[in-house]
């Protein structure tokens, strides 16, 4: 058997973390088993359909690196096939026409509620002759669900799940306007696409019992099911925006790498021994749906940040330069020059080991990409005081005299100045020096950064900072 899994998002909003994990699990299982991973857009809800949302879905899949093996299908465009199956079930006596009005259905719901029954519809038209049908009423088509016994779903994750068939209603499979319902469309499409494994959230488990009614009525082989527990917030409550339930596009914009997010999502409800760092190539070797936990997962933003820091530190420097360029332009109004690129490439190893996100990396990169004069942020201004002016002048004098501008000699000069001018406190030298070089109070290792920036530019930045202190002091 060739394993075929599917990812069937609805294009009615953004692609969130739960969608992404479902896509990842389906992708990994298909690839790990040498099978196929296919996409279907479940776009039958035309009122909420959004072409922009379709584009967002495919952009997210591309960013995550989840390639697929088919030309993605539109469920809406396949509606004639769904209707064909509904009429086939009707002809076989496995379904029937229902002429109930909205008012009649509401009365049934009220009665069912008052009697404490799970099923609202009372099967009024199940065995009635169509000759009794009211004139001018366009009927819906309902499937005949089993009336007695129980139904069982043997789920890979949840185990054997049983439902009393009295809880299954004769649900609608074709609306009065000829539009198929979600329940019918899903089953027909999964069957026609030869889907062998349905891996999805356990919020679909109730749907599975109803969908299996259609499988049984058609005599079709049912797929293997794996219903994954939903993701919760770190506090165990329903996952929401305050926990990190935002779109995949948002995680990209927050500066996360796709390989880090994939690794985190993989470990969110699935495990293999004690492995935490699991790159995609390793995941493809070891992933199996039997490893999916039955317990709900808690989303931990700090763990995601930690994983991202790991992957940033391991990433290729040229790739990182490309990835931070949009953040530099958007957040710092910096376009990388040739000279800036040379400095950044030389300093990347030192800054990427400190960063948690690409946004952090862009901020830390700024020291290599700006040329004096430049503005000082609030953090830098705190250290560019009249007292610091004396220190900066000493640094300027000492560094101008250096013939070999390397980090060891720069550090040696700064330590000497600390002993003579700053009561032996190196911080009193480094903080104004950092503010002068970076325009902020944070930077990579300062002496190594100064060497990379180069003597002429370091001199310019020191001179600019000294002039700035003089100007600000006069105000």
Which residues have a catalytic role annotated?
241
* SS3 call for 309: helix
CB-based contacts of 168: which residues, under 8 Å, 6+ apart? 119, 145, 146, 151, 209, 210, 213
Residues in the chain: 475
φ, ψ at 300 (rounded to 5°):
-120, 105
Q: How far apart are CA 55 and CA 72, in angstroms?
A: 12
Residue 389: HSE in the Cβ half-sphere, 13 Å Cα cutoff: 12
Q: How far apart are CA 367 and CA 370, in angstroms?
A: 6
Residue 35: HSE in the Cβ half-sphere, 13 Å Cα cutoff: 21
CB 359 within 8 A of CB 255: yes
Q: How far apart are CA 447 and CA 452, in angstroms?
A: 9
Q: Count of H helices and E strands in the chain? A: 19, 12
Residue 218's CB is within 10 A of a number of other CB atoms, namely 16
Is beta strand 140-143 parallel, antiparallel or unpaired with respect to 95-98?
A: antiparallel
User: Alpha carbon of 155 to those of 183, 191, 202, 289: distances in Å?
Assistant: 19, 18, 10, 11
Q: Give the bridge partners for 298, in sequence order.
A: 232
Tokens (6 digits) for 172 = 């609608």
Q: How far apart are CA 16 and CA 246, in angstroms?
A: 6
CB-based contacts of 203: which residues, under 8 Å, 6+ apart? 230
Q: Is the CA virtual torsion 287, 291, 295, 301 positive or negative? A: negative
Residue 135's CB is within 10 A of a number of other CB atoms, namely 5
């Amino acid at each position: 058997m060739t394993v075929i899994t599917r990812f069937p998002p609805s294009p009615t909003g953004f692609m969130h973390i739960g969608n992404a994990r479902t896509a990842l699990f389906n992708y990994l299982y298909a690839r790990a088993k040498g099978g196929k991973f296919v996409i279907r857009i479940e776009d039958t809800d035309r009122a909420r359909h959004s072409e922009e949302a379709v584009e967002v879905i495919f952009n997210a899949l591309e960013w995550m690196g989840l390639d697929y093996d088919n030309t993605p299908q539109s469920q809406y465009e396949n509606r004639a096939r769904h209707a064909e199956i509904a009429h086939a079930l009707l002809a076989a006596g496995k379904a029937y026409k229902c002429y109930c009005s909205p008012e009649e259905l509401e009365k049934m719901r009220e009665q069912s509620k008052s009697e404490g029954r799970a099923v609202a519809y009372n099967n009024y038209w199940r065995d009635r002759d169509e000759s009794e049908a009211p004139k001018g009423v366009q009927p819906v088509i309902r499937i005949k669900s089993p009336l007695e016994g129980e139904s069982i779903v043997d789920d890979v994750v949840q185990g054997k799940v049983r439902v009393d068939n009295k809880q299954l209603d004769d649900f609608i499979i074709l609306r009065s306007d000829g539009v198929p319902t979600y329940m019918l469309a899903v089953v027909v499409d999964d069957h026609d696409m030869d889907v062998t494994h349905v891996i999805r959230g356990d919020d679909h488990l109730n749907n599975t019992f109803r969908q299996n009614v259609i499988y049984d009525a058609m005599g079709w082989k049912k797929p293997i099911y794996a219903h994954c527990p939903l993701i919760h917030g770190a506090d165990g409550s329903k996952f929401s925006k305050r926990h990190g339930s935002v779109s995949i596009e948002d995680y990209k914009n927050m500066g996360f790498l796709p390989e880090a997010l994939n690794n985190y999502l993989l470990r969110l409800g699935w495990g293999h021994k004690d492995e935490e760092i699991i790159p995609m190539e390793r995941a493809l070797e070891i992933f199996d749906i039997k490893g999916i936990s039955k317990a709900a997962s808690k989303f931990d933003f700090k763990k995601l940040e930690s994983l991202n820091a790991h992957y940033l530190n391991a990433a290729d420097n040229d790739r990182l330069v490309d990835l931070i360029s949009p953040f530099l332009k958007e957040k710092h109004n910096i376009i990388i020059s040739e000279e800036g690129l040379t400095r950044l490439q030389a300093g990347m190893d030192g800054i990427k080991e400190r960063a948690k996100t690409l946004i952090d990396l862009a901020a830390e990169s700024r020291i290599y990409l700006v040329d004096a004069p430049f503005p000082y942020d609030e953090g830098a201004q705190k250290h560019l005081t009249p007292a610091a002016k004396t220190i900066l002048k000493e640094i300027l004098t000492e560094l101008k005299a250096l013939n070999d501008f390397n980090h060891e000699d720069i550090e040696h000069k700064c330590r000497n100045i600390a002993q003579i001018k700053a009561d032996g406190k190196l911080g009193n030298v480094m903080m104004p020096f950092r503010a002068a070089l970076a325009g902020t109070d944070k930077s990579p290792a300062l002496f190594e950064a100064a060497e990379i920036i180069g003597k002429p530019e370091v001199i310019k930045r020191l001179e600019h900072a000294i002039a700035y202190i003089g100007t600000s002091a006069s105000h």
